[in-house]
Amino acid sequence: MATIAWGRAALRRGGGFVGRQRELAELADLVGGRACVVSVVGVGGIGKTAFVDAFAGLARSGGCTVVRVDGRDVEPSGPALLAELAPKIGADASDLDSVVDRLHRLRAPRVLIIDTFERQRLADSFLRDQLAPRLDPDDTVVLVGRDRLIRAWFTDPGLAGRIAAIELGPLDEPEALEYLRRQGLDGSDARRAARVACGHPLALSVAAELVRDGRDPSAADATAGSIVEQLALDYLTTVPDPHTRQTLEASSVLRRVTESLMGAILPGAAPSEVVDRIAALPFVDVGPDGLVVHDVIREAIARRLAAVAPDRYQACRRAAWYQLRAEMQAVPISALWRYTADLLYLLEVPELREGFFPSDHQPLGVERARPGDAEAIVAITRAHCGPAEAAALRAWWERAPELFVVCRDDAGDVLGYGITLAASALPPGIARHDPVAAAWESDLRRAVPGTETLFLRRLLDREVGEANCPSRIAFGLDLKRSYMEMRPRLRYLYMCGADPGEFTWCPALGFDHQEELGVTLDGQRFETWRLDMGPESVDGWLARLAAEGMGMADAAADVFRADDRELVLPDGQRCHLTPLEHGVMEVLARRSGRPASRADLLAEVWGFDSDATSNVVDTVVVGLRRKLGEHRDLIETVRGVGYRYRAPRLSP
């Protein structure tokens, strides 16, 4: 078993890093055998990223292989994490076997750091259930974030005794003064900034900026978040340059700051100058695809803008939405997540935004049920279901136990369970035993060919059944993981329940009550709610919800009406489509902004496996363009490939 060959002298050489010597030594001691997973936790702005950066440098100098991933920049799913890791370690492919095999050929000890782990909540089960069990004794995963690990990490039999945690707190007074000295502040100025910031590194940086500008930072209460928020507002309201103030306010509505987005929000300014102005601020980081204002500061400024200038706040968000939607039409699937995340930051539907990016710690995790969970699942079913529903759920367990997911308490006992699956994974014959499954299976004939459907058959908690509770919240998060892994083909979601009071949120998110799919079991009515995300899958659905929240119509979603088999042109004219026109338009709309080859169109619409008769595609496209009239350019010819559909150019 390898150990890190550094000593106290190496720790003292920490370069520009200040303090944290005890925590650095503790983490070094854990790497290479004592722990396979280490959680580094701390409040926002406490210096977690600087800490792991310092650790990574020291670890490499001590002979470690260190691979670092920033959770802000990666789609929160297992496949996306593997795709991010593969080129970093030189793996030939991005599947789990290839990545793990390549990782184990690298020099030991090996450290995988995932920073901003709170943004990877949806990938938690992948890391816990699939990656961590395959680690060697010389491998350590360091998960860096604001929240402690969920209980499932500690109740997993394969990880017992191999999980550790390090919590970062404020710097002490000598460390805070040294931190300020390295930022060019000394003497009474440094003491004044340190007194206000209470050892919080981000607060120290903002306070130092205020003092350097001759402004007086005001004291806040003792919580780290409120200190940073107060200092951020001090900075905003006292900055003498109105252009900087306007720029900060505009950037506060964005997840990431880019020239194109700032140009859309502030059309009278030079985008490059605006971005340079933001980049110079002490609480802004440079990311791989834009600048990132620290979220504690960004959120404080956004709240103030929404309160004191609501019209300007909405105008900034709307301009950002139009620009993002325009850019989304041209990016490949591999880059689409960053735009989806950007739209989520514009979304003011708490149920949905929290479902992707929870702001509070969620203690429970979701994992696949084990054979030994059968007794607990039966007990929960009996407690909350009548005989007919219990028999239907028992049929699911007997035919497909792998479709069951569970939450566990601290003792490892089952708190609740759910049944989630892609429609293509329906167990053969289940419709004969479950009337709900029979109704859903028959309704699948409505689905657009080539799309996927997700079923959420049941969620039951041990204590409260289907009522809202921590286990239901955890299952909801896991469902969002399925969304991400199944996109861009995922289009439909079915769910059912017996208590209508637990589904009042459905209409706001676009779910339709399917009264004709309801069934009665044990004298109780089980209603179905169905979501059609549209041809752009998860990304288009979220864009529409964001637009609706800002009082806008999503023009791009209105041109092609798949269910009505017609085009609705920007001028309001409606054109009926033949079956072949509908099929071609469906494929093009589903890939909006990306080309579809003639071979793909032939395979998906005609069922041909070659392009020998590709002229039939061209003939149908000619007909579509004729119906589009002056909007015929919405279907573009991609030379040597096929065709591409671009939604109408959006303008505020």
What's the per-residue H, E or C state across 126-173? HHHHHHHHHCCCCEEEEEEECCCCCHHHHHCHHHCCCEEEEECCCCCH
pLDDT value at residue 610 = 60
Q: Is the peptide bond before 500 cis (omega within 30 degrees of 0)?
A: no
In percent, how much of the chain has pLDDT > 70? 89
pLDDT value at residue 572 = 63
CA pair distance 231, 188, nearest whole angstrom: 19
- pLDDT classification of 260: cutoffs 50, 70, 90: very high
> Within 13 A of 262's CA, how many CA atoms are on the CB side?
26
Residue type, 127: L
Structure tokens at 113: 């750091």
Mean pLDDT of the region 144-173: 86
Residues belonging to the chain: 652
Residue type, 420: T
Task: Please report, for residues 120, 377, 419, 432, the alpha-carbon distance to residue 436 in angstroms, rounded to integers and kept in the order given.
Answer: 33, 19, 13, 10
Q: Is 2 a residue whose pLDDT tops 50? A: no
| Predicted confidence (pLDDT) per residue in 283-296, tens digit | 888 877 888 888 88
| Predicted confidence (pLDDT) per residue in 298-331, tens digit | 888 898 899 989 989 989 998 998 888 888 877 7
pLDDT value at residue 235 = 72
The helix or strand, by DSSP H or E, that contains position 202, with its residue range, turns out to be: helix 201-212
Q: Is 249 a residue whose pLDDT tops 50? A: yes
Structure tokens at 357: 């990016």
Q: Is 133 a residue whose pLDDT tops 80? A: yes
> Which range has the top average pLDDT, 194-208, 247-261, 613-627?
247-261
Q: Is 556 a residue whose pLDDT tops 50? A: no
Residue 392 CB neighbour total at 10 angstroms: 23
Provide the pairing of β-strand 414-422 with 404-408.
antiparallel
pLDDT value at residue 399 = 94
Query: Which of 359-368, 375-384, 404-413 is least confident?
Result: 359-368
127: CB partners within 8 A, 6+ apart: 78, 81, 114, 120, 141, 143
pLDDT value at residue 443 = 94
CB 455, CB 423: distance < 8 Å: yes
Mean pLDDT of the region 363-367: 79
Chain centroid offset of residue 522 CA: 39
pLDDT value at residue 44 = 82
CA pair distance 197, 204, nearest whole angstrom: 5
Higher-pLDDT residue of 640, 610: 640
- pLDDT classification of 461: cutoffs 50, 70, 90: very high
Q: Is 445 a residue whose pLDDT tops 80? A: yes
pLDDT value at residue 13 = 40
> Which range has the top average pLDDT, 23-27, 269-273, 284-288, 434-438?
434-438
CA pair distance 205, 194, nearest whole angstrom: 10
CB 71, CB 115: distance < 8 Å: yes
pLDDT value at residue 652 = 47
Mean pLDDT of the region 620-639: 87
Query: Which of 328-332, 432-436, 521-525, 610-614 is least confident?
Result: 610-614
Mean pLDDT of the region 367-374: 91
Structure tokens at 611: 């392009």
Q: Is 4 a residue whose pLDDT tops 50? A: no
Domains of the chain: 8-167 (3.40.50.300), 173-356 (no CATH), 367-532 (3.40.630.30), 559-645 (1.10.10.10)
Helix (H, G, I), strand (E, B) or coil at 535: coil
CA pair distance 325, 305, nearest whole angstrom: 23
Torsion of CA 137, 139, 142, 143, to 10 degrees: -90
pLDDT value at residue 441 = 94
CA pair distance 370, 405, nearest whole angstrom: 9
DSSP per residue, 276-309: HHHHTSTTEEEETTEEEE-HHHHHHHHHHHHHH-
DSSP per residue, 94-110: -SHHHHHHHHTTSPSSE
pLDDT value at residue 9 = 38
Structure tokens at 315: 């105008």
Mean pLDDT of the region 175-198: 86
Higher-pLDDT residue of 508, 93: 93
CB 277, CB 243: distance < 8 Å: yes
The helix or strand, by DSSP H or E, that contains position 367, with its residue range, turns out to be: strand 367-368
CA pair distance 236, 300, nearest whole angstrom: 10
- pLDDT classification of 459: cutoffs 50, 70, 90: very high
pLDDT value at residue 614 = 63
pLDDT value at residue 361 = 65
Query: Which of 175-184, 303-312, 495-504, 570-579 is least confident?
Result: 570-579
pLDDT value at residue 360 = 63
Helix (H, G, I), strand (E, B) or coil at 453: strand
Give me the numbers of helices (H) and strands (E) for the chain, helices first please: 27, 20
**Residue 96: burial class (beta carbons within 10 Å; 0-12, 13-18, 19+):** middle
CA pair distance 229, 252, nearest whole angstrom: 13
CB 235, CB 247: distance < 8 Å: no
| Predicted confidence (pLDDT) per residue in 106-129, tens digit | 998 899 999 999 888 888 888 988
- pLDDT classification of 395: cutoffs 50, 70, 90: very high
CA pair distance 25, 344, nearest whole angstrom: 39
pLDDT value at residue 38 = 93
pLDDT value at residue 419 = 94
Residue-averaged pLDDT of the chain: 84
Q: Is 194 a residue whose pLDDT tops 90? A: no
Q: Is 538 a residue whose pLDDT tops 70? A: yes
Cα radius of gyration (the chain) = 27
